[in-house]
Amino acid sequence: MGSYEPLIKAIQEKVLDSTSFGAPTELEIEMAELIKSMAPNVDLVRMVSSGTEACMSALRLARGFTSRNKFIKFEGCYHGHADAFLVKAGSGVATFNIQTVPGITGGVSNDTLTAPYNNLEAVEKLVSDNKDQIAAIIIEPVAGNMGCIPPAPGFLEGLRKICDQENIVLIFDEVMTGFRLARGGAQERFNINADLVTYGKVIGGGMPVGAFGGKQEIMKHIAPLGNVYQAGTLSGNPIAMIAGYTLLRALNEHPSIFSELEEKTSYLSSGLNKVLKESQTPYVINQVGSMISVHFSKEPVVDFATSGSADIKLFNKFFHAMLRRGVYLPPSAFESWFVCNALTKEDIDYTIDAARESLKEISAQ
């Protein structure tokens, strides 16, 4: 059994005792309690198996709760591959330049309203043009799927205010930012409480896990407490739960990891800044915590349009030049980089040197 022994023991202790159909296991309950203790404003949690599932279920819940159909998402944000979200989406949809995804009906996409990221006026206009029809505003509180783009000062606060005034459910998609930017994710970092929050990636410790949670008043509408149906054969499966639980516990017990990660990322950022300046290539570095991107752009990158007008061909050349030197960046200008705590100062110095050499090679072509 080797290193699987603790895992098997934990499953035996915490899972096999639970026999009633559909009831959460002891392990799921402990996981939920841990999430609640780390994330502000999360009263109830539902475990699922991916970020996509978390976001589509949170949207269904917001619609069920408000009895409204439309919702607002931001151009260049990605919330998984559920039909409703594949309108002006970032990530792979942007990388492959897919304007309209075949297979998604007009009925579905008509209910998806989009606004440019960081543009409160556009949101206000959509809300007033669709008075009492908007169930939710969903946002990546730091965008990571059009490269890293921070929220402008006051932007998230402005969304919170609009949602409060118009009884719209504010959903923070924390699939990237959750348990990465702080113990309590972007909610804690920006000191803003969303109504619903979605999680993925980090929460699974490498296994397929997602979750959504939020205010009791809304979450109690999920079946079996309410009638908004949601379920999944593999939701809360013990192997994924123990992996996620083990990781979250480690993060919870060592919160200094978040400042260490930020220091490492800032060190990378200042090294890249120096190297890019030397190379005289127009560039923008966006960083929030351990999320960072280099955009080859002359102007600030604040939304999907400015991210898309950066030099994507140059990014692709840079990616391959870095890969030849052993540095594997995310393979798209439309993906944030995440710095990992296993990286040493030497690794980061190596990365900065590789960037210098890569830029020299590209400019000599």
Is 78 among the catalytic positions?
A: yes
Q: Are 326 and 255 in contact (CB under 8 A)?
A: no
Q: Is 78 near ligand PLP (CB under 6 A)? A: yes
Q: Which letter does DSSP use for residue 295 in this model?
A: E
DSSP state letters, 167-231:
TPEEEEE-TTTTTTSSTTHHHHHHT---SEEEE-GGGGTTSS-EEEEE-HHHHTTBTTTSSB---
In the residue annotation, 173 being an active-site residue is answered as yes
- Rounded Cα distance between 182 and 134, Å, is 30
- Of the two residues 296 and 334, which places its CB atom closer to ligand PLP in the complex? 334
Contact code string over 264-283 relative to ligand PLP, x by CB under 6 A: --------------------
Among 75, 140, 188, 303, indicate the residue that binds ligand PLP (CB under 6 A). Answer: 140
Indicate the SS3 state at residue 93.
helix
In this chain, which of 28, 75, 111, 173 binds ligand PLP, going by CB under 6 A?
A: 173
Q: Which of 312, 335, 338 is nearest to 144 (CA)?
A: 335
d(CA 196, CA 358): 43
Choice among 14, 201, 215, 264 that is catalytic: 201
Q: Which of 14, 78, 199, 264 is catalytic?
A: 78
* Residue 193 near ligand PLP by CB under 6 A: no
| Pick 147 or 275: Cβ nearer ligand PLP | 147
Total of residues contacting ligand PLP (CB under 6 A)? 16
The interface mask with ligand PLP, positions 1-40, x = CB under 6 A, is ----------------------------------------
180 near ligand PLP, judged by CB under 6 A: no
Q: Pick the binder of ligand PLP from 27, 56, 175, 339 (CB under 6 A).
A: 175
- Report the residue number, 72 or 175, with the smaller CB distance to ligand PLP: 175
- Binding of ligand PLP by 176 (CB under 6 A): yes
Which residue carries 């050499």 as its tokens? 357
b/e 65-100 (16+ beta carbons within 10 angstroms → b) = bbebebbbbbbbbbbbbbebbbbbbbbebbbeeeee
Q: Active-site residue among 173, 199, 215, 264?
A: 173
CA atoms within 13 A on the CB side of 294: 27
Which window, 121-129, 170-178, 256-264, 349-357, contacts ligand PLP (CB under 6 A)? 170-178
Kindly tell me the burial class for residue 343, based on how many C-beta atoms sit within 10 Å of its own C-beta (0-12, 13-18, 19 or more). Answer: middle
What is the CB neighbour count within 10 angstroms for residue 256? 7
Site string for ligand PLP, 45-64 (x = CB under 6 A): -----xxx--x---------
Q: Which is nearer to ligand PLP, 245 or 338 (CB)?
A: 338
218: nearest Cα among 64, 354, 8? 64
Q: Is 145 in the site for ligand PLP (CB under 6 A)?
A: yes
Q: Has 201 been annotated as catalytic? A: yes
- Give the residues lining the site for ligand PLP (CB under 6 A): 50-52, 55, 78-80, 91, 140, 144-145, 173, 175-176, 200, 210
Q: Which sequence positions are flagged as catalytic?
A: 78, 173, 201
